[in-house]
Structure 1
Amino acid sequence: MIVWLNGTHGAGKTTTSALVQQLIPDSRVLDAEKVGETLMDIRPGLSDTDNFQHWPPWRPLVVETARHVLEYTGGTLVMPMTVLVEQYWREISAGLARHAIEVRHFVLHADQDTLRARIERDTVLGPSAFRLKYLQPYAEAARTWLHAEAEVIDTTHLTPAQAALKVAEAVAAGAQRRAAPSP
């Protein structure tokens, strides 16, 4: 299974994913951004963009990386990654479905003011114009398709630990429903 944590920058995906990994037995974090970083190393051969998700190889490489890691390790992958382009999410989710990999898709949501404040006050990455420019595309994706495609957890007033617990509880409840005998 994959537990995909989506949402824009500042929603708490990276921090929450590490905490979710501690709460779900036999799980590990696979950050799809590392796949993008690998592609960035060969950037001279790719089109000029500031977002590696626009490079066509990124999406199937994420699918294949996740598939191979799951085949090797089993268990659950917790994948924190912003995907705001519906076509890209469809490619990834369809690719995982072709390999019969169950995906629990969560969106860590916060209101725009909270997201902006988190990005501007980030003590690790510092304020980031790159991260801030995704606030509006996130709002548009949330309004048009993203929230309908996922389980939304509003992190506006939650700590990362509280958000992680909500994700882990939802995953556990889904596992219990699947394991229960049908009437």
Structure 2
Amino acid sequence: MIIWLNGGFAAGKTTLARELHGRLPDSLVFDPEELGVALWKWVPPNDDFQDLASWRELVVATASALRRHHAATVIVPMSLVRDAYRAEILGGLAAAGEDVLHVFLDADVDVLGARLRDRMPPPVLPVSGQSPLDWALSRLDPTAGARQPEGTVVLRSDRLTPAELADEVLAASRRRVDSAR
């Protein structure tokens, strides 16, 4: 299974990915951001590597290959708040025959903003000239949780601890496996 952890910046995706990885012995964590940074070595950097069709295509191929060849479970902590990109990537994984549990970590925008302000800036600066903080804040979407596709597990990361979130994700994955039998 691929467990896709979606949500706004600072929603807790990476923290939850570490918690799940520690509980799932045959799992690995795949961070698609690393593909975006690698692509920028070969193509002109833009303001968001998710806008590159090649990035979206590589994410599908890489996640699927990692799951097929290296781990029973691939955990992917990556924001996909643009509806079209989310549909393209999750649809591509489904078309490749992958079972994807899509989890959206929802949180109050004020909580996400405070978490972002407490962080160190990301190593990659936006091409637009915005500060990394302003760039990240401009991409927070308070309505994203309500627009997730059917079957998405929506969890409040501002109300649950990482351990509680992991419990919910693992329970949802067990239900999914049981219903497929």
Query: Which residue of structure 1 lines up, in the alignment, with residue 135 of structure 2?
Result: 130
Structure 1 position 142, deviation (Å): 2.9
**Mapped contact 2:26–2:73 kept (Cα < 8 A):** yes
Deviation at 1:140, TM superposition (A): 3.6
Matching residue of 2:113: 116
Partner SS for 2:142? helix
Distance in 2, matches of 1:25 and 1:176, equals: 19
- Structure 1 residues 121, 51: closer, same or farther in 2, change over 3 A? same
Question: What's 1:102 paired with?
Answer: 99
Match of 1:150 among 149, 152, 166: 152
Per the normalisation by structure 1, the TM-score is 0.85
Change over 3 Å in CA distance of 1:172–1:149 after alignment to 2:
closer
Matches within 5 A, 1:161-176: 161-176=163-178
2:20 paired with 1:15 = no
> Could you report, residue by residue, the CA deviation over 1:112-168 in whole angstroms, capped at 9, with x for unpaired residues?
11111111122x448822221111xx224334x226562100011222222222212
Q: Write the letter of the residue equivalent to 2:155.
A: I
What is the rounded CA distance, in whole Å, between the counterparts of 1:6 and 1:164 in structure 2? 14
CA distance 1:79–1:96, shift in 2 (3 Å): same
> 2: CA distance between counterparts of 1:170 and 1:24?
14
Aligned to 1:40: 40
Is 1:139 equivalent to 2:121 in the alignment? Answer: no
Query: Which ranges of structure 1 fall in alignment gaps of 5 or more residues?
Result: none
Match of 2:60 among 48, 60, 63: 63
* Identity rate, percent: 35
The answer on whether the counterparts of 1:116 and 1:132 sit within 8 Å (CA) in structure 2 is: yes
Which residue matches 1:73?
70
Which residue of structure 1 aligns with residue 127 of structure 2? none
Alpha-carbon separation, structure 1, partners of 2:71 and 2:22: 16
**Alpha-carbon contact 1:23-1:165 (below 8 Å) kept:** no
Contact 2:28 2:71 in 1 (8 A): no
CA shift for structure 1 position 57: 0.6
Task: Specify every segment of 5 or more residues in structure 2 that has no aligned partner in the other structure, as ranges.
Answer: 123-131
- Distance, in Å, in 2 between the alignment partners of 1:53 and 1:149 is 23
Contact 1:23–1:168 (CA<8 Å) still a contact in 2?
no
Structure-2-length-normalised TM-score: 0.86
